[in-house]
Amino acid sequence: MPDGQHTIIDVHVLLVRGAELLLTQRRGTYGGGMWHLPSGKLDAGESLPAGAAREAEEEVGVRVDPAELRHVHTVHVAGSGPMPRLGVFFEARRWSGEPCNREPDKCSAVEWFPLDNLPDDVIPYPLAGIRAYLDGVPFGLLGWADQPRPVLA
């Protein structure tokens, strides 16, 4: 990797209520009109679970105890911007507060969808994590030219 090039770390939260998943509809240039998970970049000095809990509160107004989050998938992504990304996905089944749109400048809707009937227009990056979660796959690659099939233990 050339000097100065780094991997961006993103945290994604799958808020699961029974058999439903909470999605947010993007507004603006990145994925405008498409569905996405509550997510964002990890802050410097922040643990992965703490970052995921922070993003859930910032984006949809729910408080999640980082200790209650369950890691469900990690994906190494190429082609979702100028630098590679590492997406770390967490499941949350317990939280306080009612989900709402806390970022109306970035999000136009917040809705629950059946896990077995998600909308067709989910952004491919979070969709890869959602599918892996549903299939029980802990690691994946997305967008790499030399993308091998993962070896599962």
What's residue 149's pLDDT? 59
| Residue 107, pLDDT score | 96
CB environment 87-119: b (16+ within 10 A), e (fewer): bbbbbbeebeeebebbeeebbeebeeeebeebe
Q: What is the architecture, at CATH level 2, of domain 8-142?
A: Alpha-Beta Complex (3.90)
Q: Kindly write down the DSSP assignment for every residue of 72-91, as one continuous string.
A: EEEEEESSSSSS-EEEEEEE
pLDDT at 1: 43
Q: Which residues of the chain have pLDDT under 50?
A: 1, 151-153
Per-residue confidence (pLDDT) for residue 146, from 0 to 100? 80
pLDDT value for 5: 64
Q: Which tokens belong to 45?
A: 């000095």
Whole-number pLDDT of residue 153: 42
User: Cα angle at 66 between 153 and 62, to 5 degrees?
Assistant: 120
CB 70 within 8 A of CB 126: no
Give the pLDDT score at 122: 98
pLDDT of res. 28: 83
